Amino acid sequence: MSPNGFEYKRVLVVDDFDNFRTTVMRMLQEFGARSVDTAAHGNDAVSKCRSTSYDLVLCDYNLGPGKSGQQVLEQLRHESLLKHSSLFVLISAESSKNIVMATYDYEPDAYLTKPITAKTLQQRLERLFHQSREMCKVYNAMDDGDLDAAITRCGELLRGQSRVRPLVQKLLGRLLLRTGQFNPAEQLFRKVLQVRELDWAMVGLALAKKGQDDWVGAQQWVEQALSLNPMCMPAYDLLADIHAARGDRQEQQHTLAQAVEISPLSIMRQQELGAVAYQNHDLEQALEAFKNSIKLGEHSCYDDKDVYLQFIRSCAELAPLQPDVAKSYAREVGKSIGEFGNRFGRDGHNDVLLRSANCAYLAATGEQLAAQQLLQELMEQHQESPATLAAQLDWISACEVLGRQEWRDQLVNGVLQQYQGNEAALEMIDRVLENPTSEKNRQRVAQINKQGIAYYEGTDFEAAIDCFNRAVREFPKHVGIELNLLQALIGALEQSGQPHLLKQAKHSCERLGQLVDGEHPQADRLAQLVGKFQEVSQQILRDGEQV
């Protein structure tokens, strides 16, 4: 019998090719394995793993229609169906970048590239079993949830002359971070880095710094990791976190977008990019990321109904601004609306959420009658018990487009009252308001205005324009900021007469025309600024003719 104990291993072979399954199974049996199960598809593999605790899963990447090998691994880890000592080996016919990068988030224990010879397989598996045996005390402690014991065992292994040392070092670093032991973690990573510059140790060190609230140090190390390896995905995630913690959502989005470009198959990063882009009112990027998330979610355990709703909502919000772009997503939105019930169930709660998002979408895409009818139904249905905030916000958007000012005001007052003091909810509500009510966004507006006005008063119009432009992106409905932007643009035109600013100022006037009606408290200021703008622009055009 094989000295490396294939005999008592429970093995699962997953491949959609019958031929390959049989070949691998035969090989394993020749090595001495007695218990080998097979699965042809991802779902079959997952359900087998639910009923049996396998020591080894050999899974092909490409499993035909349905889940991919990566998604099988994703779900097994998600549902904790694999012990720490279990081995997941991903087999693929190719080492395409997307695949490798995507699997990086849920790393298998080993990759094998087809073709697989008996000897290669045996050698690799024996080595993996050996490794797993050496690590068993650590893994057992982790399976028991005793991370402190696992850390102690790692220390013991590192003191001996073990071949698993590189593996243990990495694992120990992760365990120390997870248990919040940032100082020892930092020491470990520094020791590794003294010998060699390695990206994972730099990211580890950055995480340790972040744990110690040293955000500057964290950013330095994470940037160093990225300059060493521009494809280091965990570094992008951490960098995005750092930007988020600083409140710099633009940079957070930028970093996530970079990461998504390198590794487009990672569903969670796509979802996060969509959410951040939506917050940033970058609806085009949000739509693209949500679309990709929905596509990737088809067979993923991370498929999320909120992503569907956000997708529909983003398209509704973009429709009045860029009808052509929004139109290009119409087919996908239609498909998402159709699929929603199949995927997430048709209970009353889901039904209201979907119809509400759809209502906003119909209103924004010219289906006024259908939207009107849907809105009426929804509001009647919820006369007694209020709907969720997300649904009500969709109704508010629909009211705005449909011109139902009374209903809108009533709904807005309702949610403001209902969510009084709930900062997170208020931040969401701010999206449909002209002036934000949440503490955070109010401070943000005040801060931006203060800074922009200071630039303006110092006649640094360029800096003021830059400042207000960023603010307009964050608070597109805020009349005060838009007026300040226009005023700064006029200031710059008066100062230097740069014709390229004319277009922007004109655009700003148009936007304000939509936001401000005759009864708006700022209507006088707008009229005054528009008058001034016309004066200045005529002057510039005259000057241009003279030259």
Partner 1 sequence: MTDKGLPVDFSFVLASSVHDMKNSVGMLMQTIEELSASAATDNAEHNRQLSTLGYEAARINGDLVQLLALYRMENQRMLVQLEECYLDEIIGDQLARNDILFRSRNIAVEVDCGEDVCWYIDAELISGMLNNILVNAARYCLSRIKVTANIEDGVLHLIVADDGRGYPESMLTSPTVMRDSVSFTEGNTNLGLLFAQEIAKLHRRGDLHGYITLANGGVLSGGQIEVVLP
**Interacting residue ranges for partner 1, rule: CB under 8 A:** 19-20, 23, 26-27, 93-97, 113-120, 122-124, 127, 161, 163, 165-166, 196, 198-199, 229-231
Q: With respect to partner 1, which residue has the nearer C-beta, 128 or 425?
A: 128
In angstroms, give the least distance from the CB of 162 to partner 1. 11
Q: With respect to partner 1, which residue has the nearer C-beta, 94 or 298?
A: 94
Q: With respect to partner 1, which residue has the nearer C-beta, 142 or 168?
A: 168
In angstroms, give the least distance from the CB of 111 to partner 1. 9
In angstroms, give the least distance from the CB of 20 to partner 1. 7
In angstroms, give the least distance from the CB of 353 to partner 1. 42
Residues 6+ apart with CB under 8 A from 211: 177, 180, 182, 185
In angstroms, give the least distance from the CB of 125 to partner 1. 11
Residues 6+ apart with CB under 8 A from 140: 84, 85
In angstroms, give the least distance from the CB of 121 to partner 1. 8
Q: With respect to partner 1, which residue has the nearer C-beta, 199 or 474?
A: 199
Q: Which of 455, 456, 434 is nearest to 445 (CA)?
A: 434
Tokens (6 digits) for 317: 């919000």
In angstroms, give the least distance from the CB of 87 to partner 1. 16
Tokens (6 digits) for 110: 């080993």
Instruction: Report the sign of the C-alpha dihedral through residues 460, 465, 466, 468, in that order.
Output: positive
Q: With respect to partner 1, which residue has the nearer C-beta, 120 or 322?
A: 120
Q: With respect to partner 1, which residue has the nearer C-beta, 27 or 362?
A: 27
Q: With respect to partner 1, which residue has the nearer C-beta, 165 or 178?
A: 165
61, 68 contact by CB (below 8 A)? yes
In whole angstroms, give the CA distance from residue 398 to residue 312: 13
Q: What pairs with residue 58 in β-bridges?
A: 13, 89
Residues 6+ apart with CB under 8 A from 410: none
In whole angstroms, give the CA distance from residue 469 to residue 352: 36
CA–CA–CA angle 118, 123, 126 (5° rounding): 120
Q: With respect to partner 1, which residue has the nearer C-beta, 16 or 434?
A: 16
Q: Interhelix angle for 233-245 vs 267-279, to 10°?
A: 30
In angstroms, give the least distance from the CB of 521 to partner 1. 56
Q: With respect to partner 1, which residue has the nearer C-beta, 115 or 145?
A: 115
270 vs 27, 102, 174, 223, 275, CA distance in Å?
39, 11, 24, 22, 9
In whole angstroms, give the CA distance from residue 325 to residue 242: 32
In angstroms, give the least distance from the CB of 479 to partner 1. 47
In 10 A of CB 343, how many CB atoms?
A: 15
In angstroms, give the least distance from the CB of 152 to partner 1. 23
Q: With respect to partner 1, which residue has the nearer C-beta, 101 or 428?
A: 101
Q: What is the DSSP string of 405-418?
A: HHHHHHHHHHHHHH
Q: Which of 211, 171, 210, 216 is nearest to 192 (CA)?
A: 171
Looking up tokens 């402190």, which residue turns up? Answer: 148
Residue type, 517: D
